[in-house]
Structure 1
Amino acid sequence: MSMVAKPVIVVATDSKGQVLNQILFGIEEEQVAFKVEPTVRENTIASAYQAAISSHFGVGIAFDEKHAILHFKGFPENEPLFIVSVDDNESLMNLGINAARLVKGIPFKNLKKGGDL
């Protein structure tokens, strides 16, 4: 008997704490499944893209000490969907909400731009 993987949003990170919690709160608010996996890339955009590729939904998130990044597998690797500052809890939660809304096909919440990488 083969195991079928449950569709999830993949969050790639090696850290725990407030940034991860805020992102997960947003995803949970929209009632979409997620999985936290260790990141394997030095580049955060590449980590987010790899997370999206490994997600059945095609949606991945990664973050570093400055930015949280939401990526979609249909986009070029160097063009993430959203980048927000990790210093803004509301934007982090909204990033999680938008990841879930991408899965559900409903309009995004507005995000404060997190700056360029």
Structure 2
Amino acid sequence: MAIDKDRPSILIALLPEDGSTLPARLQPMLLGIEEEQIPYQLVSSSDSTAKSAVERAYDAAIASRLSVGVAYDQQQIVVHYKNLAPEAPLFTEPITTARETRIVGANAARLVKGVPFKLQGQVS
């Protein structure tokens, strides 16, 4: 993973086929992280072709100075924390609406901040 190790941030593991860009349907997740004022980095990895979203999220959490990693596949977004078992992510949420995707991003950032999570469907 090519990351700036000096910059504390949530690491978001991209799929190899996405190159260095997060798909448009997941952009609201970045807005959720930004609204909580936590930095993030998009991480490309060519060796993650055979890894699941859970495995990639855990790898990102281990590499993150904030201990939080996010990954995705075609159906879901996974938020992992480095102190959890590799096979047991904190959140696995289906990719549905932009609003729900934004809440997943906000909750990843709230994990860093140590404040209560937003509930899916919650209006803020």
> Shorter-chain TM-score: what band?
0.7 to 0.9
Shift of 1:91: 1.8
* 1:33-84 deviation per Cα after TM superposition (whole angstroms, max 9, x unaligned): 0000014422110000001001001000000000100000010011010111
- Structure 1: stretches of 5+ with no match in the other structure: 113-117
Counterpart among 49, 74, 99 of residue 58 in structure 2: 49
The runs of at least 4 aligned residues of structure 1 exceeding 4 Å deviation read: none
| Distance in 2 separating the partners of 1:43 and 1:83 | 12
Q: What is the Cα-based RMSD across aligned positions, in Å?
A: 1.7
Q: TM-score, normalised by structure 2?
A: 0.81
Contact 2:5 2:65 in 1 (8 A): no
Q: Which amino acid aligns with 2:75?
A: K
* Alpha-carbon contact 2:26-2:98 (below 8 Å) kept: no
Q: Distance in 1 between matches of 2:27 and 2:67?
A: 21
Identity of aligned residues (%): 35
Contact 1:84 1:111 in 2 (8 A): no
Match of 1:115 in 2: none
Q: Is 1:104 matched up with 2:105? A: no
- 2:10 corresponds to which residue? 9
1:20 Cα deviation after fit: 3.0
Q: Which runs of 5+ in 2 are unaligned?
A: none
Residue of structure 1 in register with 2:38 after alignment = 32
Q: Is contact 1:10-1:59 (8 Å) kept?
A: yes
